[in-house]
Structure 1
Amino acid sequence: MTVSPPHPPEEMQKTAQHTLDHALHWVRQGQAVAVATVTGTWGSSPRPAGSCMVMAESGRVEGSVSGGCVESDVMHNALRIMAGDAPEVLDYGVSSARAWEVGLACGGRLEVLVEAVRSPACPTGTWPMEILEQLCALMAARRPAVLLRTLDATQHRVLATRADGALEHPAHDEALGRAALHALATGRGLLTPDSAGQNWFVQPLLPPPRLLIVGAVHIAQHLARLAALTGFDPIVVDPREALATTERFPGLEPGRTLITEWPDEALPALSIDSTTALVTLTHDAKLDDPTLETALGSPAFYIGALGSRKTQASRLERLQQLGYAPEALARIRGPVGLAIGAVGAEEIALSILADIVAVRRNGPLATRRGWDNP
């Protein structure tokens, strides 16, 4: 008798939500909501500028602004601001008594802007609800955007992007437009003055990265779960309906994130972009090769293919015969994953996701995967 591994809770494989989605959900429930954003960091601060945490008056929290050292103090202040106090920039640093009280004694410093969302439950809020709705709609459409705010929380502006990555409309100030493009490129927020000397916090808001998995095999079950836990939106593609089932992939939605079509039909409609990683796990050239051809014609930041060195060599030879140049074929990472000595589907999935993260973050293991020695 074969014993199947227990299925993960359904919510673990649902589409990753942006932190602000939770804020909007709570506002629509009729709760007062506050948003805390890291607006400045120095030294060894654990979270980059632009990181945010949302809090509801019920006590619900999503996101973070540190490694856990200042969240309680931020929540305490957020309750005060939701109750009617003015927005505030909280300063935590090695020279601050508050930093020692809350546990930020690691040598870093951070500043956190806390403001409430203006809603019927919190009429004193400064973050306009329509701005929150606009940002969540852009994230749902996978359109990167930039939120511009003054630190007194009196001005909020949104800059959306076009499909080519340029700003949809020019910023009201040339200096802020340049800062917005820089923030989008680096994924980090920054504090910068406009041409008149007014300081603005420029916060990039990027949709969750996607992981397209071709092949609804055993490894894919674990890889989809790990991807969701790591903040990716997993999508599984496999025309074999006996494998691509909601029983095997709980939480994925048939026709949207669990697709039973041939890859060459399904992938073009998914609009592969630069925030997309793609992995093929089938060992079947009828599925692998069309997948890789589509991937090579896309800006996907990661392309991986399961298989031995021999399988990879055969795969590259077939693609070379189709006219792909060596520099294009070098984008395909195979054998896929880091050489961690993985045994079993769970560990192989872990090695694949670790490699994807290394490439995405430009980590050292992106170039030293461990497959160099035969």
Structure 2
Amino acid sequence: MTPHPLPRDPLDLVLAWAEAGHAAALATVVATWGSSPRPPGSMMAIDATGRIEGSVSGGCVEASVVDAAETVMQGGAPEVLSYGVTSEQAWAVGLACGGELDILVESVGPEGTLDPALLRHAMALRRERRPALLATRLTDMRHILVERTAGGSMAAHGGADLPDHMLPALDMAFRGGRSMRHEAPDGEAWFLHLLTPPHRLLIVGAVHIAQVLAPMAAATGFAVTVIDPRTQLATPERFPGIPLVTEWPDEALAALNVDDHTAIVTLTHDAKLDDPTLRAALDSPAFYIGALGSRKTQTSRLGRLREAGYDDGRAARIHGPVGLAIGAIGAPEIALSILAEIVAVRRDAPLGRRPGWT
């Protein structure tokens, strides 16, 4: 298959640029009101050569933000830009969606307000899928990297002290899964930027549908891994740019530490691979479990799970037939239906509960 270009993470990219010695800046949405196109925490990386990755408004204000970033990279102070439909600048750049947003622009590097060492530590926590958050005081760009421990307490990295007033807001951000603005009792504004690890899609079965589903899911922001012990199928040539695991599926899932940001789909049509995958998935906190197959296949599958000790209540977590009932024919349409159902479940949309199969 032809390789698909996959989106790159703005944080990873801005850190790489800065560490390579390039002037770089990071723009982050720190507040929104109304129907703003991008939520708080959305990012765009910019460097002095004009490279850009990410988005802060879906195209409305990016050119204006790049202009501000160029000033910041040349030694200017960090800036919080405000855009809204009543703003003269907003009309000039085309923000006509009826919303308002504030965007923080700061430089990354030894001369900037964002320390590469701090970002490096933050990215390491995210890669390890440990809950982390970057708290920024917007008046002076003081940054505190916060991790929520397994016990639920807050730990500040780098010896920083966490103000007591921030603890309830930090807990709210972690529990709600959203970046947010926080106002301290003294009126100081903080931005709590949740560095959530990307949602994952673990695809069991390096089959033709997986060749379409993997890059499609990656393009929508999922961290995708394909699992299949059949090494003649799980090859880099068939899955360019996609991580491959060739262990037995249940062993692979145990090693990958499935969390509640993980979706699991099995596409093998082979009970020897499907059944251990589904048992491991049902024992995990995965937010989505799907299995390819007809209603007859699903009935047989549920019977085997019942014999293995999984009652109907637990097995009801499995979406099968997998995907939305859109009349899909062929691998691309089936992949589309699967990804659409995963997104619907992730967003708690009605289609995630009623996919249309009768």
Category of TM-score, reference length = shorter chain: over 0.9
Pairwise CA distance, 1:182: 1.8
Partner residue of 2:25 out of 34, 45, 64: 34
Pairwise CA distance, 1:97: 0.5
TM-score (norm 1): 0.90
The structure with higher relative contact order (CA 8 Å, sep 6+) is 1
User: How many Å separate the matches in 1 of 2:96 and 2:187?
Assistant: 33
Q: Which residue of 2 aligns with 1:248?
A: 238
User: Is 1:154 paired with 2:149?
Assistant: no
Distance 1:75 1:131, change over 3 A: same
Partner residue of 1:93 out of 84, 99, 105: 84
Pairwise CA distance, 1:17: 4.6
CA contact (8 A) 1:127 1:153 kept: no
TM-score (norm 2): 0.94
Q: When the two structures are aligned, how many residues end up with a matched partner? A: 355
SS, match of residue 211 in structure 1: strand
User: How many Å separate the matches in 1 of 2:151 and 2:228?
Assistant: 29
User: Is 1:52 paired with 2:43?
Assistant: yes
Q: Which residue of 2 aligns with 1:130?
A: 117
Structure 1 segments of 4+ aligned residues over 6 angstroms from their partners: none
User: Is 1:77 paired with 2:68?
Assistant: yes
User: How many Å separate the matches in 2 of 1:87 and 1:31?
Assistant: 17
Pairwise CA distance, 1:164: 6.0
CA contact (8 A) 1:18 1:139 kept: no
SS, match of residue 237 in structure 2: coil
User: Is 1:190 paired with 2:180?
Assistant: yes
User: How many Å separate the matches in 2 of 1:164 and 1:226?
Assistant: 36
User: How many Å separate the matches in 1 of 2:272 and 2:288?
Assistant: 21
Correspondences of 1:61-72 after superposition (within 5 Å) = 61-72=52-63
CA contact (8 A) 2:205 2:266 kept: yes
Q: Which residue of 1 aligns with 2:190?
A: 200
Q: What percentage of aligned pairs have identical amino acids?
A: 57
Q: Which residue of 1 aligns with 2:204?
A: 214
User: Is 1:239 paired with 2:229?
Assistant: yes
Q: Which runs of 5+ in 2 are unaligned?
A: none
Q: Which runs of 5+ in 1 are unaligned?
A: 1-5
SS, match of residue 154 in structure 2: coil
Pairwise CA distance, 1:133: 1.4
SS, match of residue 273 in structure 1: coil
The CA deviation string for residues 147-193 of structure 1, in whole angstroms up to 9 with x for no partner, is 10011243100002334665345971233222122222333221112
The CA deviation string for residues 226-264 of structure 1, in whole angstroms up to 9 with x for no partner, is 111111111111111211112211223xxxx21222112
SS, match of residue 27 in structure 1: helix
Q: Which residue of 2 aligns with 1:117?
A: 108
Distance 1:258 1:166, change over 3 A: farther
